[in-house]
Amino acid sequence: MLSFKQAYQEVEEFIAAADFSGNPAELYDPITYSMNLGGKRLRPALLLMAADIFEAEKPAALNAALGIEVFHNFTLVHDDIMDEAPLRRGKDTVYKKWNRDIAILSGDVMFVKAIDFFLKLHPAQQLADVLRVFNKTAAEVCDGQQMDMNFETQQEVSIADYIQMIELKTAVLLAAALKIGAMIGGASDEDANHIYEFGRFIGIAFQLQDDYLDAYANPDTFGKIVGGDIIANKKTYLLLEAFNLANTSQLAELNDCINGKFEDEEKVKRVKSIYNQLTIPELSKQKMKTYFDQGMASLAKVSLPQEKKQALVDIAEELMYRAV
């Protein structure tokens, strides 16, 4: 059984050995750069773990894992243009280090390269089945990004809208990674779908946790500024739930905060005070737990002995309770 740590290590080695170079260099250097910025390698490692428990051939699993990771990095390169984000993992984004046009076009090539990795699969029927899952997911990830951008100016965003957005933007790619790993291992359709649902539910839980940590992480260990989402008026689960539950005076203060009445530090303090009054942290943890438990229930339905699935349980729990 492959632990997350082992899977991560295998992904890192495969990426280090991969050659993304090409001509013109302006188009391929950003791919090498982007793929070597590091990161958790969550998606490809989960793919390898799912492949491992279904006893898939390693080279096929590694190629699919890299396809998923290259695709994920493509979305980051294009998202960073849209968000005008200067930094990614502490280093210049492609858009900043080169320029907008190179970020657009080298992103496009990354998408092509992602598909190249899937095209290494065989037999052809498996290649076709896997690409159908991948391609459906690719469209969903774009849909999620567009929803996220729409939310910035959209007046009314419901909790259901928000959950759908994070499902599309984040969760379905985790889910697809797990499913593709299982498919390469020859899992039944039922098992492949159960492991997909596991990924989808824990993906939603992880994103809810990200929202929570952005406001409530320990600032000494968080690695970025606590309250960044609050400062940016980001419509997270926390803020949307607060708007749902606030009384008239809390609503007025929330609106004052959003409309720029206070400096950043004071704004974070006031919004968190309202969150605390409304028990948003507890509601948030409950919500995470609901999705997490649904994920675990889906994993339990996968028709393999519990010990085979333990590494997936372990990493899900580790990620879920890392800082809560």
Q: Report the site for a copy of itself in 180-199 (rule: CB under 8 A).
A: none
Per rule CB under 8 A, is residue 127 in the interface with a copy of itself? yes
Q: How many residues bind a copy of itself (CB under 8 A)?
A: 40
Cβ atoms 49, 310 nearer than 8 A: no
Under 8 Å between Cβ of 143 and 130: no
- Shortest Cβ distance from residue 296 to a copy of itself (Å)? 30
Please, what is the minimum distance in Å from the beta carbon of residue 147 to a copy of itself?
A: 6
CB of 287 to a copy of itself, least distance (A): 24
> Between 158 and 247, whose beta carbon lies closer to a copy of itself?
158
Shortest distance in whole angstroms from residue 122 CB to a copy of itself:
8
Instruction: Compute the distance between CA of residue 197 and CA of residue 203 in angstroms, rounded to an integer.
Output: 9
Question: In the set 123, 223, 260, 305, which binds a copy of itself (CB under 8 A)?
Answer: 123
Query: Which run of H or E residues covers position 87?
Result: strand 87-88
Contact between 112 and a copy of itself by CB under 8 A: the answer reads yes
Angle at 189 between CA 188 and CA 193, to 5 degrees: 120
101: contact with a copy of itself by CB under 8 A:
yes
The reply to whether 85 sits near a copy of itself by the rule CB under 8 A is no
User: CA-CA distance, 187 to 50, in Å (whole number)?
Assistant: 10
Angle at alpha carbon of residue 222, lines to 218 and 225, rounded to 5°: 95
Cis-peptide into 24, omega within 30 deg? yes
Tokens representing 123 are: 């037999």
| Structural contact between residues 240 and 162, judged by C-beta atoms closer than 8 angstroms | yes
- Binding a copy of itself (rule: CB under 8 A), the pick from 105, 245, 251, 319 is 105
Q: Which residue, 110 or 171, is less far from a copy of itself as judged by CB? A: 110
Decide if residue 145 touches a copy of itself (CB under 8 A).
Answer: yes
Q: Which of residues 7-26 bind a copy of itself (CB under 8 A)?
A: 22-24, 26
Q: Which residues within the stretch 245-304 sit at the binding site for a copy of itself (CB under 8 A)? A: none
| Contact indicator for 200, 175 with CB cutoff of 8 Å | yes
**Residue 298 near residue 198, CB atoms below 8 Å:** yes
Return the number of the residue (26 or 263) whose C-beta is nearest a copy of itself.
Answer: 26
